[in-house]
Amino acid sequence: MLAEIAGVPAAAVASPSTTAEVADVVRGAAEDGLAVVARGAGTRQDWALPPQRLDLIVELGGVCGLVEHAAGDLVAVVRAGTPLREVQEALRPAGQQLALDEPLPGATVGGTVAVNASGPRRMLYGTVRDLLIGVTVVRADGVVARAGGKVVKNVAGYDLGKLVAGSYGTLGVITECAFRLHPLPAASRFVSARAAGPEEAGQAVAAVLGAQVVPSALEVDMDPDSGPLTVTALVEGVPAGVERRAADLEKLLGEDAAQDEAPPSGWGEYPWSPGDVGIKLTCALSRVSYLLTAAGVTAQLHDVPLRVRGSAGTGVLYAGLPGRTEPGVVAGVISDLRAATRAGAGHCVVLTAPPAVRARIDVWGHVDGLDLMRRVKDQFDPAGTLAPGRFVGGI
C-alpha cells in the first residue's frame, strides 16, 4: 500500500500488531511532534479532506483478530484492523452477527467506526454508534484509554465510543471495539417495486412504514440510466413470518412488486465508483420524497447523471457524480443539494471527490456545534497531531 493518504505522502510507515505497540509508536511521534494518520484497509482514505500535514502512517492491519466472543451475552470484542467480513465469519458458527453492512469490500472494523459508516440495515439495527458498547483508543500522547465493554460505562465525562465514531481519526487511534451482536435471521426476503417518480416512491415508503411488516431495511434507488425509481424492502426472521410479511409487502408496494431471496443489483453499495464524486444526503423521514424530487430537478438543471440510493426508512441517502464532471458544475450541484437538505432538516456532505473538486468546494458545509467540536479536539489532541485537517472546520 502506498505511503500516502489522499495524495499526501508520508515520511514513514509503522506497522504495530498490538495496542501496546500502537501506544509506543504514537507516544514517540508525539514526542517528536510528528503528524500521524491511522489506516486500516485504506478503503476510505480518500474520504473527507487530505491531511494538512503527514509524517507517519500507522498501519493497523496487524492489529487484528477476535479478542473475545461472549455468545451468551451477545457481545464481541474485536481488534480494529480486522476486516468486517472476517468478523462475520467468526461469529457465524454461533448463529450471530455484527449487524453492520459492508458497502466497501475489505473495510476494517476501525475504519468503519472512524467514519461511522452504515448501510441499509441501519433502519432496524442502528448505526455504529448504536452497536458500539466499548472502545480502546490510543490518545495523541500515547496513553491508552478504555471505555465501556461488557458493562457500558465511560470515563472522564465523555462517551468515548460515540465521540470517536465518525471523528475520522482526529481524536485517537482506535485499536479495539466491543460490539452488541444480534442473532442471524433464519430467513430473509427482498421485495422490490418500481415507482413512476419521487411522489409515488414516497407513498410506497409511507405505506410500508405505516404497516406492521417491520422491515430491516427500506431502500430507494434512482438511476438516471434506468428510468423509474425502485423501492426495495428487506424482511428477516423465522421462515413463516418472513413469508407472511413479504406477501404483505407485495400488496403494499403494488401489482408489479416482486420477491427474491437475493438482493437487487447495487444493494448496500454506494452509487459511485473510485474517482467519482460521492455525496451523503440526510433529511427528516417525512422529507425523503421531497429530497428525491430536488435531486432529480438538480440533475436536470445542471445536465448531470446524478444517481441517488439509500435508506428511505431513515432519511440517509447517497448520491454519485462521474469524476469527470467539471468542478464548477459539481459546485453548483452541491449548492442546490445543500439548499434542498436544509429545507428537509438535514445536511449534505461530500465524502469523496477528485482533488480539483475538493479545491473548489467546502466538502463539509455548515455544521452545527463546530466550536464545541474544536474544544473536544483541543482536549484530546492539543498539539493537533492526529489526522490534522481531515475533519470539519480544519480539525
Q: What CATH number does the domain located at 277-358 have? A: 3.30.70.260
Q: What is the pLDDT of residue 152?
A: 39
Q: Is the pLDDT of residue 154 over 80?
A: no
Q: Is the pLDDT of residue 329 over 90?
A: yes
User: How many residues are given for the chain?
Assistant: 395
Q: What is the pLDDT of residue 189?
A: 98
pLDDT per position as a tens digit, 348-359: 999 999 999 999
Q: What is the pLDDT of residue 226?
A: 67
**Could you check whether 1-184 and 277-358 share the same CATH topology?**
no
Q: Give percent of the chain above pLDDT 70.
A: 97
According to CATH, the topology of domain 1-184 is 3.30.465
Q: What is the pLDDT of residue 150?
A: 54
Q: What is the pLDDT of residue 247?
A: 97
Q: Residue 141: which of 312, 391, 382, 387 has the closest Cα? A: 382
Using alpha carbons, list the distances in angstroms from residue 189 to 258, 265, 309. Answer: 10, 14, 19
pLDDT per position as a tens digit, 32-74: 999 999 999 999 999 999 999 999 999 999 999 999 999 999 9
158 pLDDT tier (thresholds 50, 70, 90): low
Query: What ranges do the domains of the chain cover?
Result: 1-184, 187-260, 277-358
Q: Which three-class secondary structure state does DSSP give residue 355?
A: helix
d(CA 371, CA 361): 21
Phi, psi of 102 (to 5 degrees): -125, 75
d(CA 27, CA 287): 47
Q: Is the pLDDT of residue 1 over 90?
A: no
2 pLDDT tier (thresholds 50, 70, 90): confident
The β-bridge relationship of strands 144-148 and 132-138 is antiparallel
According to CATH, the topology of domain 187-260 is Alpha-Beta Plaits (3.30.70)
Strand partners, 4: 9
